[in-house]
Structure 1
């Protein structure tokens, strides 16, 4: 009799835990579906593109402070690698000629002889001509950051098609 009780009790435990696990499965499937949707662009990458995005992800994982959310100011994410070197990525690249914007502290270049007066002034957001270098004097507001820059800056936009 005691064996029958143990067998029945064990069967109930397995059935109950099986129902709980089955009940948890839709949640796990929902989470997996959400992850697949959010990361569809990354998951679709192959070869060099996949390797490149993973290399960037490893840098960001090791140094999350490098990533700066400028979406409120400019609709861009800023990868601030340091020493006045930044690259901005548009969140909606189809809606701007400024898909990627590179910005560099121009102090060293000016000291080496760059004449900033030969460069166009950095225009407002969405007004850069791809492939043209621009200059932003120290203390003037950067339209991609929404605040003044600490040093003189040069910038170039790339329209990735």
Structure 2
């Protein structure tokens, strides 16, 4: 076990908890569940977390992973979309993973200047039935990277 990667050890711990200890009403806290995981596996972790929420587990995570946020977003949108059966079948989703947007809250850290001081903030992100989680922080970084690549390929002004 000591020679296993940190992601394997962490997933084994979570797997043991789910198989042997998990009870409805439990609180599960995970700091950066994406740590050392391939993006495909980050998405699978998000699906697992959604299924746990649907089983009555209160899940708290901290993440920097756009993959996890977007996958949770998809799972919320699948819950309320008229296209969910078609999309779920096409992409291999199970209805047990669909999560109601009302059962989830997302908070974003930031900084705010008050007088001469800058303070750390924690603000609740907007979540809607139609569009899911609105998080400009990840999208802004991705859009900026796309702009940089575009300027490199096609010449920037």
TM-score tier (shorter): under 0.3
Q: Scaled by the length of structure 1, what TM-score is found?
A: 0.23
TM (normalized to structure 2)? Answer: 0.24
